[in-house]
Amino acid sequence: MSDHLTRPQIRDRLTAFVARWSQRAGDEKSEAQTFLGELLDCYDPKWRQNTDVRFEHRYPSGGFADLLWKGNVVVEMKSRYTTPTLPETHWKQAFDYWDRSSFPEEGIGAPRYLLLCAFDRFVVWEPGEFPVPVIDRPGPARIDVMLGELPERVEALDFLRGTRANFAVNSVDLAERAVDAVARLYLSLTERGIDAQQARDFTLQVTWCCFAEDLGMFPELLITNAAERLKADPAASSFDVLGELFEWLNRAGERPTGGAFKGAPYVNGGLFEHPAHVELNRAETGLLLTASRADWHQVEPAVFGGLFTGTLADERRRVSGAHYTPEAEIQKIVQPTIVRPWRERIEALTDPATALTLLDELSAFRVLDPACGSGNFLYVAYQQLRTLEAELKARIGDLARASGRTVPPDLPRVGLSNMLGIEKDPFAARLAQVVLWIGHKIAIDKHSLNEDVLPLEDLSGIVCADALHVDWPQTDAIVGNPPFIGSQNLRRAVDDDEIDWIKKRFGVGVKDYCVYWFRRAHDHLEPGQRAGLVGTNSVSQNRARGASLDYVVSGGGVITDAVSTQVWPGEAKVHVSLVNWVKQPPAAPLTFILD
């Protein structure tokens, strides 16, 4: 089968797949084929053309495998497990089917891979080829992962696109190694007294350069060569070497035609407005070299919040309520609040003129995250909007051809400046801009767009401010996860004057911090607009529900998608509620997903 999807494309598909199926029942009898079909779609949409792929393959001696791909994989589906232990009857049945899945008359041995899948859990063995001795117990599984981990372990199921799986590669592990080097570099600078703003600028300028080099925005290995030079020559100064590179990236006009920075592009966008001149010690130079040598293709900007949280001491992160948000969880907000309503409108189009008008509307669509942290929600929202834009433009082409018309040139697009954010922490606010700038390049590559990524687009809509104290910009949708700070810890996070101000401003007393974002978000929406927020699960319970969800509903809000409580993945270890709603909809919503 053709290997035409890139790793980022497969990862994007898996992320959406996880978001959909994490909320489904996971019933073997009624959902197994749909689940497997959608999983195969993530790896190769053309799998249906492969005659070796069979659903419900029946064996002459009895029983059937949920999926058999001759010589490649047998899949046995089970309903969701309620315990971590694999039932003996399940793995024995799976191995029995595998043992009977050879086709000697065709010269095809038993499949290389065996997958036992229970919707939430994927256990893969690689038992080899037929003939084999009868198996009485399973050997060690090559991999045993949960549904939410799939976007991080793309290569582990590569057999679903007809190639050999790589069980050793974990994209998150690779990303964390790259990010960790940059984070430790930043911490080292601040710990030895480098000005915080200068350390921040230097770290983010280095980070962008690492991305730019690996994503093809530089003609040469500018940052890697500079780091190699600093490591090899103790007399060389990072203050001069890197400082000069950053000066060139900030300088418009003629480009250097020779020397170490030949071909360095003009970048600016505000990122290099203050080129950072920092003298690194030998240990920091080593960290710079480690970062520059890393494969930044593997660093998903959507999980780049790991850099931000990695630069925060544990106590500071806990008090501030800052936590990394996995992309699969972000999709539980972005899909119902942004993607689904737009996709329904696109699918309902019947003429090119209306479609062109809709494209104008989509291109102007703004998204606000009023607690944007390092930009994870905005990055995912932007990627999804660019995908919707591609779908809408394809739809315009289809409708135009069907009616004998031509598609106008220079159709509008969704700009980065449509992404708006408010963030109190200056490092995180600047990091959010870097994440979105990298996201623009990724969108260009993903959709083969004819757009310039440099100079960087204006992102002045990402502002450093206290979202509760400033006016929010006009927007079309609101998404995000406000700080996870319970009411009992709020006085540790803010001073007494702030507590008094909050009580006067909102008039509901001291609640979990996120409650005030729910109220402000609903007040800020215009009729027909949508919001999706993640909050501590108190918003669905008595002590905070009246001040948050009841407030939304009493103000004309209709909750369309919600999870009342779930454990938030990662280090947060908190129980959260996910709430998506529309304010005063012109017509009653037709789709609801409520736990």
Q: For the residues of 367-415, what is the DSSP string, one character each?
A: EEETT-TTSHHHHHHHHHHHHHHHHHHHHHHHHHHHTT--PPSS-----
Give dist(CA 463, CA 480) in Å, integer: 15
Mean predicted confidence (pLDDT) in 51-70: 92
- Give Cβ neighbours of residue 69 (< 8 Å, ≥ 6 apart): 50, 52, 53, 54, 111, 159
- Average predicted confidence (pLDDT) for the chain: 87
Q: What is the pLDDT of residue 180?
A: 81
**Is the pLDDT at 478 greater than 70, yes or no?**
yes
Helix (H) or strand (E) holding 581, with range, is strand 575-583
Structural domains in the chain, CATH included, are 7-161 (3.90.1570), 171-299 (no CATH), 317-594 (3.40.50.150)
Q: What is the pLDDT of residue 526?
A: 97
SS3 of the chain: helix, strand, coil, percent, to 5: 50, 15, 40
**Is the pLDDT at 308 greater than 80, yes or no?**
no
Amino acid at the residue 14: L
Give dist(CA 473, CA 420) in Å, integer: 8
CA nearest neighbour of 74 among 87, 90, 57: 57
Q: How many residues does the chain have?
A: 595
Task: Tell me which residue has tokens 């959709």.
Answer: 447
- Give Cβ neighbours of residue 127 (< 8 Å, ≥ 6 apart): 95, 98, 110, 114, 135, 139
CA angle 328, 332, 334 (to 5 degrees): 100
**Is the pLDDT at 192 greater than 80, yes or no?**
yes
Q: For residue 316, what pLDDT band results from cuts at 50, 70 and 90?
A: very low
**Is the pLDDT at 150 greater than 60, yes or no?**
yes
| Helical spans, DSSP H, in 192-253 | 196-214, 222-232, 238-250
Is it true that the peptide bond before 455 is cis, omega within 30 degrees of 0?
Answer: yes
CA angle 48, 160, 49 (to 5 degrees): 15
**Per-residue b/e over 570-583, b at no fewer than 16 CB within 10 Å?**
bebebebbbbbbbb
Q: Quote the DSSP letter at residue 416.
A: G
The answer to whether the CB of 224 falls within 8 A of the CB of 293 is yes
In this structure, what token pair is assigned to residue 335? Answer: 């899909």
Mean predicted confidence (pLDDT) in 275-279: 96
Mean predicted confidence (pLDDT) in 505-524: 92
Helix (H) or strand (E) holding 83, with range, is none
Q: What is the pLDDT of residue 110?
A: 86
Q: Exposed, middle or buried, 126 (CB in 10 Å: 0-12/13-18/19+)?
A: middle
CA nearest neighbour of 301 among 11, 535, 42: 11
Compute CA distances 315 → 124, 309, 403, whole Å.
39, 11, 62
Give dist(CA 251, CA 54) in Å, integer: 59
Mean predicted confidence (pLDDT) in 219-230: 90
The answer to whether the CB of 395 falls within 8 A of the CB of 345 is no
Q: Quote the DSSP letter at residue 540.
A: G
**Is the pLDDT at 134 greater than 60, yes or no?**
no
Amino acid at the residue 389: E
288-300 pLDDT, tens digit each: 998 998 888 878 7
Q: What is the pLDDT of residue 307?
A: 57
The answer to whether the CB of 379 falls within 8 A of the CB of 301 is yes
Mean predicted confidence (pLDDT) in 7-25: 85
408-421 pLDDT, tens digit each: 888 999 999 999 99
Mean predicted confidence (pLDDT) in 198-216: 94
State the Cα torsion 576-582-583-586 to the nearest 10°: -160
Q: For residue 173, what pLDDT band results from cuts at 50, 70 and 90?
A: low
**Is the pLDDT at 571 greater than 80, yes or no?**
no
80-130 pLDDT, tens digit each: 876 666 777 888 888 889 988 888 888 888 898 999 999 989 999 888 643
The answer to whether the CB of 562 falls within 8 A of the CB of 595 is yes
Q: For residue 358, what pLDDT band results from cuts at 50, 70 and 90?
A: very high
Give dist(CA 312, CA 315) in Å, integer: 8
What does R_g of the chain's alpha carbons equal in angstroms? Answer: 26
In the chain, pLDDT over 70 holds for what percent of residues?
89
Q: What's the 3-state SS for 285-314?
A: HHHHHHHHHCCHHHCCHHHCHHHHHHCCCH
Q: What is the pLDDT of residue 494?
A: 86
